[in-house]
Amino acid sequence: MRHTAFRHLTAAILLAMTATAPAMAQSPVTDPGPATTSAPATEGVQAAPQPVAGEALPAAEDAATEETAIEEDAAMAATLPHDLSPIGMFMAADIVVKAVMTGLALASIATWTVWLVKSLELAAARRRVRRDLAMLDEARSLAEAVTGMDGQRGPAAALVRAAVAETRITREVTAGRPPVSGAGLESRVASRLTRIEARAGRMIARGTGVLATIGSTAPFVGLFGTVWGIMNSFIGISESQTTNLAVVAPGIAEALLATAIGLVAAIPAVIIYNIFARAITGYRAELADASAAVARLVSRDLDRGGIAVVPAQTIGG
Protein backbone atom coordinates (compact mmCIF):
# COMPACT_ATOMS: atom_id res chain seq x y z
CA MET A 1 0.00 0.00 0.00
CA ARG A 2 2.91 2.30 0.70
CA HIS A 3 4.27 1.40 -2.67
CA THR A 4 1.02 2.35 -4.35
CA ALA A 5 0.96 5.83 -2.72
CA PHE A 6 4.54 6.55 -3.82
CA ARG A 7 3.65 5.57 -7.33
CA HIS A 8 0.68 7.94 -7.37
CA LEU A 9 2.83 10.87 -6.05
CA THR A 10 5.42 10.29 -8.73
CA ALA A 11 2.75 10.33 -11.44
CA ALA A 12 1.35 13.66 -10.17
CA ILE A 13 4.78 15.31 -10.21
CA LEU A 14 5.45 14.14 -13.77
CA LEU A 15 2.05 15.41 -14.87
CA ALA A 16 2.72 18.89 -13.43
CA MET A 17 6.14 19.08 -15.06
CA THR A 18 4.72 18.16 -18.45
CA ALA A 19 2.03 20.91 -18.09
CA THR A 20 4.47 23.74 -17.34
CA ALA A 21 7.15 22.73 -19.83
CA PRO A 22 5.32 24.02 -23.03
CA ALA A 23 4.64 27.43 -21.46
CA MET A 24 8.27 27.88 -20.48
CA ALA A 25 9.35 26.86 -23.93
CA GLN A 26 7.05 29.38 -25.69
CA SER A 27 7.87 32.47 -23.56
CA PRO A 28 11.25 33.37 -25.20
CA VAL A 29 9.65 33.20 -28.65
CA THR A 30 6.42 35.15 -28.08
CA ASP A 31 7.86 38.00 -25.97
CA PRO A 32 10.55 39.31 -28.33
CA GLY A 33 8.43 38.57 -31.41
CA PRO A 34 6.49 41.79 -31.57
CA ALA A 35 9.62 43.87 -30.86
CA THR A 36 11.59 42.26 -33.66
CA THR A 37 8.74 42.51 -36.15
CA SER A 38 7.54 46.04 -35.29
CA ALA A 39 10.97 47.70 -35.19
CA PRO A 40 11.44 47.83 -38.97
CA ALA A 41 7.88 49.08 -39.46
CA THR A 42 8.28 52.10 -37.18
CA GLU A 43 11.85 52.94 -38.12
CA GLY A 44 12.15 56.57 -39.45
CA VAL A 45 8.52 57.47 -38.58
CA GLN A 46 7.91 59.97 -35.76
CA ALA A 47 5.14 58.91 -33.51
CA ALA A 48 2.25 61.39 -33.19
CA PRO A 49 2.24 63.22 -29.87
CA GLN A 50 -0.56 62.24 -27.65
CA PRO A 51 -2.81 65.10 -26.46
CA VAL A 52 -2.21 66.21 -22.98
CA ALA A 53 -5.08 67.36 -20.82
CA GLY A 54 -3.26 70.56 -19.77
CA GLU A 55 -2.72 71.73 -23.38
CA ALA A 56 -6.36 71.55 -24.48
CA LEU A 57 -7.47 74.75 -22.70
CA PRO A 58 -4.88 77.18 -24.28
CA ALA A 59 -5.65 75.79 -27.72
CA ALA A 60 -9.36 76.41 -27.23
CA GLU A 61 -8.67 79.96 -25.99
CA ASP A 62 -6.51 80.72 -29.05
CA ALA A 63 -9.23 79.47 -31.37
CA ALA A 64 -11.85 81.61 -29.60
CA THR A 65 -9.60 84.69 -29.75
CA GLU A 66 -8.97 84.20 -33.46
CA GLU A 67 -12.67 83.79 -34.15
CA THR A 68 -13.45 86.97 -32.19
CA ALA A 69 -10.81 88.91 -34.15
CA ILE A 70 -12.30 87.69 -37.43
CA GLU A 71 -15.76 88.78 -36.32
CA GLU A 72 -14.45 92.23 -35.30
CA ASP A 73 -12.69 92.68 -38.65
CA ALA A 74 -15.88 91.72 -40.46
CA ALA A 75 -17.89 94.19 -38.36
CA MET A 76 -15.40 96.99 -39.03
CA ALA A 77 -15.40 96.19 -42.73
CA ALA A 78 -19.18 96.40 -42.70
CA THR A 79 -19.18 99.81 -40.99
CA LEU A 80 -16.51 101.36 -43.24
CA PRO A 81 -17.79 103.12 -46.38
CA HIS A 82 -16.80 101.55 -49.63
CA ASP A 83 -15.93 104.93 -51.18
CA LEU A 84 -13.84 107.48 -49.29
CA SER A 85 -14.12 110.15 -51.98
CA PRO A 86 -16.00 113.38 -51.08
CA ILE A 87 -19.17 112.11 -52.76
CA GLY A 88 -18.87 108.73 -51.06
CA MET A 89 -18.36 110.32 -47.65
CA PHE A 90 -21.34 112.59 -48.29
CA MET A 91 -23.56 109.62 -49.10
CA ALA A 92 -22.38 107.74 -45.99
CA ALA A 93 -22.72 110.76 -43.66
CA ASP A 94 -25.32 111.23 -40.96
CA ILE A 95 -28.51 113.05 -41.95
CA VAL A 96 -27.51 116.14 -39.93
CA VAL A 97 -24.02 116.28 -41.43
CA LYS A 98 -25.52 115.70 -44.85
CA ALA A 99 -27.94 118.61 -44.35
CA VAL A 100 -25.05 120.85 -43.28
CA MET A 101 -23.03 119.90 -46.36
CA THR A 102 -26.03 120.50 -48.63
CA GLY A 103 -26.67 123.94 -47.13
CA LEU A 104 -23.04 124.94 -47.49
CA ALA A 105 -22.96 123.72 -51.08
CA LEU A 106 -26.04 125.82 -51.87
CA ALA A 107 -24.42 128.80 -50.17
CA SER A 108 -21.34 128.35 -52.32
CA ILE A 109 -23.52 128.21 -55.46
CA ALA A 110 -25.29 131.40 -54.32
CA THR A 111 -21.93 133.10 -53.80
CA TRP A 112 -20.74 132.42 -57.33
CA THR A 113 -24.16 133.30 -58.77
CA VAL A 114 -24.10 136.69 -57.05
CA TRP A 115 -20.52 137.19 -58.23
CA LEU A 116 -21.47 136.57 -61.86
CA VAL A 117 -24.66 138.66 -61.85
CA LYS A 118 -23.27 141.58 -59.87
CA SER A 119 -20.04 141.64 -61.85
CA LEU A 120 -21.96 142.07 -65.10
CA GLU A 121 -24.37 144.57 -63.56
CA LEU A 122 -21.66 146.63 -61.89
CA ALA A 123 -19.47 146.67 -64.99
CA ALA A 124 -22.37 147.88 -67.15
CA ALA A 125 -23.41 150.52 -64.59
CA ARG A 126 -19.92 151.93 -64.20
CA ARG A 127 -19.41 152.00 -67.96
CA ARG A 128 -22.72 153.87 -68.43
CA VAL A 129 -22.13 156.42 -65.65
CA ARG A 130 -18.63 157.14 -66.96
CA ARG A 131 -20.03 157.80 -70.43
CA ASP A 132 -22.76 160.06 -69.04
CA LEU A 133 -20.27 161.87 -66.82
CA ALA A 134 -18.10 162.64 -69.83
CA MET A 135 -21.13 164.06 -71.64
CA LEU A 136 -22.16 166.18 -68.61
CA ASP A 137 -18.66 167.61 -68.35
CA GLU A 138 -18.82 168.69 -71.99
CA ALA A 139 -22.31 170.26 -71.71
CA ARG A 140 -22.57 174.03 -71.26
CA SER A 141 -26.16 174.20 -70.05
CA LEU A 142 -28.90 171.99 -68.65
CA ALA A 143 -30.74 172.11 -71.95
CA GLU A 144 -27.64 170.83 -73.74
CA ALA A 145 -27.34 167.99 -71.22
CA VAL A 146 -30.97 167.06 -71.85
CA THR A 147 -30.30 166.95 -75.57
CA GLY A 148 -27.26 164.76 -75.09
CA MET A 149 -29.19 162.28 -72.92
CA ASP A 150 -32.31 162.13 -75.04
CA GLY A 151 -33.82 158.66 -74.71
CA GLN A 152 -31.12 157.30 -72.38
CA ARG A 153 -31.67 155.56 -69.06
CA GLY A 154 -29.64 155.24 -65.92
CA PRO A 155 -28.82 157.23 -62.79
CA ALA A 156 -27.20 160.13 -64.68
CA ALA A 157 -30.31 160.54 -66.83
CA ALA A 158 -32.39 160.45 -63.64
CA LEU A 159 -30.23 163.23 -62.18
CA VAL A 160 -30.75 165.44 -65.21
CA ARG A 161 -34.48 164.66 -65.25
CA ALA A 162 -34.78 165.60 -61.56
CA ALA A 163 -32.99 168.91 -62.13
CA VAL A 164 -35.26 169.72 -65.10
CA ALA A 165 -38.36 168.81 -63.09
CA GLU A 166 -37.36 171.04 -60.17
CA THR A 167 -36.59 174.03 -62.41
CA ARG A 168 -39.92 173.60 -64.18
CA ILE A 169 -41.78 173.52 -60.87
CA THR A 170 -39.88 176.60 -59.71
CA ARG A 171 -40.86 178.55 -62.84
CA GLU A 172 -44.47 177.54 -62.38
CA VAL A 173 -44.46 178.67 -58.75
CA THR A 174 -42.80 181.99 -59.55
CA ALA A 175 -45.14 182.54 -62.55
CA GLY A 176 -42.23 182.61 -64.95
CA ARG A 177 -40.38 185.32 -63.09
CA PRO A 178 -36.71 184.65 -62.38
CA PRO A 179 -36.09 183.88 -58.73
CA VAL A 180 -34.70 186.60 -56.53
CA SER A 181 -31.91 184.26 -55.44
CA GLY A 182 -30.87 180.96 -56.96
CA ALA A 183 -29.83 179.47 -53.63
CA GLY A 184 -33.29 178.05 -53.00
CA LEU A 185 -33.41 176.36 -56.38
CA GLU A 186 -29.91 174.99 -56.01
CA SER A 187 -30.67 173.51 -52.58
CA ARG A 188 -33.85 171.88 -53.84
CA VAL A 189 -32.03 170.44 -56.85
CA ALA A 190 -29.22 169.20 -54.59
CA SER A 191 -31.78 167.52 -52.34
CA ARG A 192 -33.28 165.66 -55.28
CA LEU A 193 -29.87 164.66 -56.60
CA THR A 194 -28.78 163.33 -53.19
CA ARG A 195 -31.82 161.08 -52.92
CA ILE A 196 -31.24 159.74 -56.44
CA GLU A 197 -27.63 158.97 -55.59
CA ALA A 198 -28.68 157.07 -52.45
CA ARG A 199 -31.30 155.09 -54.34
CA ALA A 200 -28.87 154.16 -57.10
CA GLY A 201 -26.27 153.09 -54.53
CA ARG A 202 -28.81 150.86 -52.76
CA MET A 203 -29.86 149.27 -56.01
CA ILE A 204 -26.31 148.49 -57.11
CA ALA A 205 -25.52 147.01 -53.66
CA ARG A 206 -28.43 144.56 -53.69
CA GLY A 207 -27.22 140.98 -53.28
CA THR A 208 -23.96 141.81 -51.59
CA GLY A 209 -25.54 141.31 -48.18
CA VAL A 210 -25.88 137.62 -49.03
CA LEU A 211 -22.12 137.45 -49.49
CA ALA A 212 -21.55 139.06 -46.11
CA THR A 213 -23.92 136.62 -44.44
CA ILE A 214 -22.33 133.59 -46.06
CA GLY A 215 -18.82 134.78 -45.30
CA SER A 216 -19.59 135.29 -41.62
CA THR A 217 -21.76 132.24 -40.91
CA ALA A 218 -20.45 129.47 -43.19
CA PRO A 219 -17.40 128.63 -41.00
CA PHE A 220 -19.65 128.23 -37.95
CA VAL A 221 -22.11 126.07 -39.86
CA GLY A 222 -19.22 123.88 -40.99
CA LEU A 223 -17.96 123.75 -37.41
CA PHE A 224 -21.39 122.53 -36.32
CA GLY A 225 -21.13 119.70 -38.84
CA THR A 226 -17.66 118.92 -37.50
CA VAL A 227 -18.86 118.74 -33.92
CA TRP A 228 -21.78 116.53 -34.90
CA GLY A 229 -19.55 114.16 -36.87
CA ILE A 230 -17.02 113.83 -34.05
CA MET A 231 -19.85 113.20 -31.61
CA ASN A 232 -21.07 110.37 -33.82
CA SER A 233 -17.53 108.99 -33.87
CA PHE A 234 -17.38 108.84 -30.10
CA ILE A 235 -20.79 107.20 -30.03
CA GLY A 236 -19.43 104.60 -32.47
CA ILE A 237 -16.47 103.99 -30.16
CA SER A 238 -18.83 103.45 -27.24
CA GLU A 239 -21.08 101.07 -29.15
CA SER A 240 -18.31 99.02 -30.73
CA GLN A 241 -16.22 99.00 -27.53
CA THR A 242 -13.06 99.40 -29.55
CA THR A 243 -10.59 102.22 -30.05
CA ASN A 244 -9.53 101.06 -33.49
CA LEU A 245 -9.01 104.08 -35.73
CA ALA A 246 -10.70 102.30 -38.63
CA VAL A 247 -13.99 102.46 -36.73
CA VAL A 248 -13.93 106.20 -36.03
CA ALA A 249 -12.09 107.35 -39.16
CA PRO A 250 -15.21 107.66 -41.40
CA GLY A 251 -17.00 109.92 -38.92
CA ILE A 252 -13.93 112.11 -38.49
CA ALA A 253 -13.49 112.32 -42.26
CA GLU A 254 -17.12 113.37 -42.67
CA ALA A 255 -16.69 116.00 -39.96
CA LEU A 256 -13.59 117.41 -41.62
CA LEU A 257 -15.37 117.40 -44.98
CA ALA A 258 -18.11 119.58 -43.49
CA THR A 259 -15.48 122.02 -42.23
CA ALA A 260 -13.78 122.05 -45.63
CA ILE A 261 -17.04 122.82 -47.43
CA GLY A 262 -17.74 125.61 -44.95
CA LEU A 263 -14.37 127.17 -45.71
CA VAL A 264 -14.91 126.73 -49.45
CA ALA A 265 -18.17 128.65 -49.12
CA ALA A 266 -16.89 131.33 -46.73
CA ILE A 267 -13.50 132.31 -48.17
CA PRO A 268 -14.71 133.23 -51.71
CA ALA A 269 -17.74 135.02 -50.22
CA VAL A 270 -15.52 137.27 -48.10
CA ILE A 271 -13.12 137.98 -50.98
CA ILE A 272 -15.92 138.73 -53.45
CA TYR A 273 -17.72 140.92 -50.92
CA ASN A 274 -14.61 143.02 -50.38
CA ILE A 275 -14.11 143.37 -54.14
CA PHE A 276 -17.72 144.47 -54.62
CA ALA A 277 -17.50 146.87 -51.66
CA ARG A 278 -14.58 148.67 -53.29
CA ALA A 279 -16.27 148.66 -56.70
CA ILE A 280 -19.55 150.00 -55.28
CA THR A 281 -17.66 152.72 -53.44
CA GLY A 282 -16.06 153.76 -56.73
CA TYR A 283 -19.46 153.66 -58.45
CA ARG A 284 -21.00 155.90 -55.81
CA ALA A 285 -18.11 158.32 -56.20
CA GLU A 286 -18.78 158.48 -59.94
CA LEU A 287 -22.48 159.08 -59.25
CA ALA A 288 -21.47 161.92 -56.92
CA ASP A 289 -19.37 163.38 -59.73
CA ALA A 290 -22.36 163.17 -62.09
CA SER A 291 -24.59 164.82 -59.48
CA ALA A 292 -22.07 167.60 -59.01
CA ALA A 293 -21.92 168.10 -62.78
CA VAL A 294 -25.71 168.50 -62.96
CA ALA A 295 -25.64 170.94 -60.03
CA ARG A 296 -22.98 172.99 -61.84
CA LEU A 297 -25.16 173.17 -64.95
CA VAL A 298 -28.08 174.46 -62.88
CA SER A 299 -25.88 177.06 -61.19
CA ARG A 300 -24.43 178.10 -64.55
CA ASP A 301 -27.90 178.64 -66.02
CA LEU A 302 -28.88 180.73 -62.98
CA ASP A 303 -25.85 182.92 -63.51
CA ARG A 304 -26.96 183.45 -67.11
CA GLY A 305 -30.18 184.96 -65.88
CA GLY A 306 -32.61 182.08 -66.14
CA ILE A 307 -33.24 178.47 -67.01
CA ALA A 308 -34.91 177.48 -70.20
CA VAL A 309 -38.02 175.39 -69.76
CA VAL A 310 -37.29 171.85 -70.84
CA PRO A 311 -40.03 169.22 -70.74
CA ALA A 312 -38.99 166.40 -68.37
CA GLN A 313 -40.51 163.82 -70.69
CA THR A 314 -37.71 164.26 -73.22
CA ILE A 315 -35.34 162.20 -71.05
CA GLY A 316 -35.81 158.47 -70.77
CA GLY A 317 -36.83 157.04 -67.36
Span 253-308, pLDDT tens digits: 777 888 899 999 999 999 999 999 999 999 999 999 999 999 998 888 887 766 55
**What pLDDT score was predicted for residue 59?**
57
pLDDT in tens, 161-189: 898 888 888 877 776 565 556 677 888 88
pLDDT in tens, 15-38: 555 554 444 444 444 444 444 444
Cα–Cα dist 39/61, whole Å:
39
Say whether 152 sits in a helix, a strand or coil: coil
pLDDT of 229 > 80? The answer is: yes
Cα–Cα dist 208/204, whole Å:
9
Cα–Cα dist 221/102, whole Å:
11
Q: Which of 55-69, 115-129, 171-185, 241-255 has the lowest mean pLDDT?
A: 55-69
Q: What is the mean pLDDT of residues 120-130?
A: 93
pLDDT of 242 > 80? The answer is: no
Question: Is the CB of residue 240 less than 8 Å from the CB of residue 75?
Answer: yes
Supply the pTM of this predicted model.
0.65
Q: Which of 139-148, 243-252, 261-270, 284-293 has the lowest mean pLDDT?
A: 243-252
Question: Is the CB of residue 125 less than 8 Å from the CB of residue 279?
Answer: no
Question: CB burial class (10 A; 0-12, 13-18, 19+) of residue 172?
Answer: exposed
Cα–Cα dist 303/198, whole Å:
28
H/E stretch holding 295:
helix 245-304
**What pLDDT score was predicted for residue 44?**
44
* Per-residue pLDDT band at 40 (split at 50, 70, 90): very low
